Amino acid sequence: MYKGDKATLTVGNETIPMVFVGGGATVLAFSEVGHENLVYVFVPELVFMDGERAEDFAKDVLVEAYQSDPANPYLPRVEYLRTAFVDGPELGKVCKIFKMPHYRDLRMSDRKALVDMKILHKLRADGMRQIYDDYKCLTGNSPSMTFLGNAAAERTRELAVEKYSKKNPAMVAAIVHLEQAIFNRGQAGLTFEFNKRNIGVDKAGNLVMRDPVYDSEITVKIKRDRRAKEHENAD
């Protein structure tokens, strides 16, 4: 589907006209027609080709972080609604359903938000590089960062606290709450991702971390299944 495409979704016994907002490896997001200021995020249960089942907790992390600090301008106002069977394009599955405001995409004119995004991007890149270097120094081997997601998130949080506690306490607090929620989930692959497509802007032009967490282990398994399907189709 493409952004702006219209679709009809059936949630339980309710049929709702929707507009496609966007999606990722594990989520699909829609706005209800006539209510485009709200976004409904659908996170389906995952079943891999080998029969393994998994649940993506990235949005649950956002809910927990927001509940910890609802006044923080950097945290998206995400609410868990319910789990239900959802029928529609690319769905037809049991999904966790979340609701959040529609945060528009970042623009080049959003100068303060762009500065904040660059800070976040560098913090995450530096955190990942340091964890990689530490592991390689300790073991002599190059690590798979897929299984060091939590460690990279923790190091990102440590760097944020060290460098920006005085300069931008609200941003640091948001990172601290997110990293704590990641840790609480106990999923090794959960980690940060700060780039332009994961960042939104509120009505005042302030940066909002609308989708700053993903599960690297789940992403690797999804890519593995895609390659296997492509190989089957080629045969």
User: Quick one: pLDDT at residue 145?
Assistant: 67
Q: Is residue 147 part of a domain?
A: yes
Same domain (yes/no): 158, 65: no
User: Quick one: pLDDT at residue 138?
Assistant: 84
- Torsional class of 34: left (φ above 0), alpha (ψ -120 to 50), beta (otherwise): left
Same domain (yes/no): 73, 168: no
Nearest CA to 209 out of 65, 79, 82 is that of 65
Same domain (yes/no): 45, 65: yes
Inform me whether the pLDDT recorded for 82 exceeds 70: yes
Same domain (yes/no): 171, 68: no
Inform me whether the pLDDT recorded for 112 exceeds 90: yes
Please state the domain count of the chain.
Answer: 2
Among the candidates 64, 87, 104, a domain finishes at 104
Confidence label for 135 from pLDDT (cuts 50, 70 and 90): confident
The pair phi, psi for residue 78, each rounded to 5°, is: -100, 135
Give 83's strand partners. Answer: 96
Is 191:214 a contact under the CB 8 Å cutoff?
yes
Same domain (yes/no): 40, 66: yes
Inform me whether the pLDDT recorded for 78 exceeds 80: yes
In which domain, by residue range, is 157 found? 107-223
Same domain (yes/no): 140, 211: yes
Average pLDDT, the chain: 92
Token pair in block for residue 186: 């106990």
